[in-house]
Every structure is written in C-alpha cells, then in structure tokens.
Amino acid sequence: MLIGLFRSVARAFALMLLVMIGATLLVRLAPGYLSDAREMDARYGNTVRAELAQEDAQSRSLTQMLAREMGGWLRGNAGVSRQFGVPVGQLIRPRLVVTGALLLRSLLLGWALALSAALVSSTRRKSGVVWQAPSTLLLAIPTAAMATLCLLAGSGGPVMVMAMLIAARDFKFLYRILRQAWLEPHLLHARAQGIPMRRLLAVHLAPSIASQLGALAGLSMVIALSALVPVEVLLDVPGLGQLAWNAAMNRDLPVLLAVTLLMALAVTASGILSGQTGAWERA
C-alpha cells in the first residue's frame, strides 16, 4: 500500500518534471516568443523593444531558461507574469477557485446525466439510434458554438455546456459498457430469476463495470479540461482556461507553465483516483 503510494507520488513528480520541460521548450520555440503586437504601435514600439531585448538576453540559452524556471518552482516561486508583471500566484489563486467549482459541478452533473441515461437506455431491447441521437448532436456542435447558442438563448451557462459535453461523451462510453455487461451470463441469469432492479444494479452490475468506470473518470477529466478553454473564453468565466488562452496568445511562459502544471496535476490526480478505485475493487 505504502509502496503503491510512493510510486504514485514518484510518478506524479516525474510527470510534472517532464511537463515542465516540454512546456518550456514548446513555448520558447514557438514562433513569436520574442515579439509583441505593440511593436507595431509607433507610440509604444520603443519601450516594448527595450523590454524584448532584455527578455532575449535572459532566454538565449534554453538550458539556463529551464534551470531558472525549475529553480523558481522548487523554491515555491512560480515567477512573474510577462504580460501583467504580477506574481503568477496572484493571478492564479482567484481563478483556481472559479475553475475548480466549475469543473466539480459540471463533472458531477455530467456523470449523473450520463449514468442515468445509459442505465435507462441500456436496459431497453430496442434502443440504438434514438438514444444515441442527442449525444451525437451534442458532440457535433462545436463547444464554441454551443457556448454562443447559450449566450443567445440567455440561458444555460458554463456548467451546463460542460456538463452536456461530458455527459454526451460519457454516455457513449457507458452505454457500450452497460450493453455488454447486461449480456454477461451471470446478469442474464439474475434477471431471469426476477431479482429486483435495485439489487441487480448494486450487487451484480456495479462490480462488473467498476474497473472501467475508473478509466471513464480519467477520460471525463480530460474532456472537461479540454473544453475548459473554449467555454471559459466564450462565456467569459474568469477562470484558468481564460487565463491560459491569454497567456498562450501572449507567450506568457510563467503563467502558462503554472496553468499547465495544474492541468497535469488534475490529470494525474484523476489517474491515481481511477487507479485507486481499481485497487479497491481488487481488494
């Protein structure tokens, strides 16, 4: 148990390190790291050019740059935003709460929706396309368009959009797992015996799909995180996704690194969580 925990922590650490190196390299090598839209503005051109020259001198060598960023992180200092000139922590903290709440609510809602829809539909003999249609519809509409439609309708919000997306993808996944599970011999037998639905679900169905639910949790987290940026940008949620997009568009490495690491942490955490549920099931 302890060894398992140690391995998880070691893994998380390795992940963070790799993500940090990868993200720094990607941002530094991306075109336009050392340019700024204000260079084109006659009024601000000279001051901006001076700033960029300084930045250039600091980031000439990739290894030095990496060492600086990592050293800062080890000392618990995420650096100062290139764009706003404020410590990264100060930018991130209030947004973390907003995004955390959004993620939590939409994950719960999405799961509940997907699970109930999948449970109901998978017990039907003839289902298929009719049940699939709503989720296919949700998947086909770009997140951006969905967010805009919500804006236009004046109803629904970021939680709604995210929950719908998560539910649509999870539903597809769950539907198949459940369809398969219902056809397993012991379940068929139990159903034939007329065991009540509630007991059937709790005692027979849940254990047989539990291990895959772990994977699903991980997947949902990934879906939620990938929808975070468009949803927050379009629906104007002052969360991390919006911050990440601005940071990417302005090549704000310290901010982007912090957000990326947080995302990696979320992915790892969901990975560990799903792994743990698997372990619990085996025990």
Partner 1 sequence: MRMGRLAPGFLLAMLAATVAKYCIAQVPARLPGELAWTIGYDPKTFDPAKVDDIDSETVRYLTAGVLLRFNRLTQKLEPRLAESWNLSPDGRTITFKLRGGLRFSDGAALTARDAAWSIQRVLLPAAGAPVAEEFVAPASVHVDAPNSQTVVVRLPQRVAGIGKVFDEIAIEPANRPSEGHVTSGPFYVAEYQRSQFVRLRRNPYYGERDGSGAALPRASGVLLDIVENPEERIRLFSRGESDLIDQLSSEYYEMLRQKAPGSVRDLGPSLNTEQIWFNQAPASPLPAWEEAWFRNQSFRVAVSQAIQRDDLVRLVYLGHATPAYSFISPANADWYNRRLAAPHSDLAAAQDGLRRAGFRMEGTHLLDAAGHPVKFSILTNAGNDARLKMATLIQQDLAAVGMQVNVVTLDFPALIERLMHTQDYEACLLGLENVDVDPNEMMNIWLSSSPNHQWNPAEKTPATAWEAEIDKEMNLQATSQKDAVRKQAVDRVQQIVTDEEPFIYLVYPNVLAAISPRLAGAQPAVIEPELWWNVEDLRLRRTR
Partner 2 sequence: MRIRLLPVWLLVALALGASAIVSRPGASYARQDREHPLAGASLTHPAGADALGRDRLVRVSAALLLSLAGALAASALTTAAAAGIGAWAAFAVPGVAWLMMLVCDVFLALPWLFLLMMVRSALPLRASPAHSAVITFLVLAALGWPACARAVYRGALGLKRADWMMQARASGMRGKQLIRQVLPNLLPLLLPQFLVCVPAFVIAEANLGALGLGIGEPLPSWGGMLLELDNSALLFRTQWVYFPVVLLILVLLLLEAILVEA
> Does residue number 77 form part of the binding site for partner 1 (CB under 8 A)?
no
d(CA 225, CA 71): 27
CB of residue 268 vs partner 1: minimum separation in angstroms? 27
C-alpha span between 12 and 270 (Å, rounded): 11
Nearer to partner 2 among residue 27 and residue 164 (C-beta): 27
Instruction: Return the range that interacts with partner 2 (CB under 8 A); candidates 17-25, 43-51, 92-100, 105-113.
Output: 17-25
Euclidean distance between CA atoms 203 and 211, whole angstroms: 15
By CB under 8 A, residue 90 contacts partner 2: no
Whether residue 254 contacts residue 23, with contact meaning beta carbons closer than 8 Å, is answered with no
- Give the rounded distance of the alpha carbon of 157 from its chain centre: 18
Task: Choose the one of partner 2, partner 1, none that binds residue 155, judging by a C-beta under 5 to 8 angstroms depending on kind.
Answer: partner 1
Binding-site partner at residue 142 among partner 1, partner 2, none, CB < 5 to 8 Å by type: partner 2
C-alpha to C-alpha distance for 240 and 103, rounded to whole angstroms: 11
Residue 250 · residue 82 · CB < 8 Å: yes
C-alpha span between 139 and 191 (Å, rounded)? 33
**Among the candidate windows 42-50, 60-68, 129-137, 176-184, which touches partner 1 by CB under 8 A?**
42-50
120 scored as a contact of partner 1 (CB under 8 A):
yes
- In the bound state with partner 2, the residue whose beta carbon lies nearer, of 93 and 176, is 176
Q: Would you count residue 34 as binding partner 1 (CB under 8 A)?
A: yes
Asked whether position 23 contacts partner 2 by CB under 8 A, the answer is yes
Residue pair 80/257 in contact (Cβ under 8 Å)? The answer is no
Q: Pick one of partner 1, partner 2, none as the site partner of residue 37 (Cβ within 5 to 8 A by kind).
A: partner 1
Whole-number Cα distances in Å, 56 to 38, 80, 151: 16, 16, 42
**Can you tell me which of 89, 100, 134, 157 binds partner 1, judged by CB under 8 A?**
157
Nearer to partner 1, 54 or 211 (CB): 54
Among 11, 28, 68, 105, binds partner 1 (CB under 8 A): 105
Smallest CA-to-CA distance from 241 within 249, 231, 254, 250 is with: 231
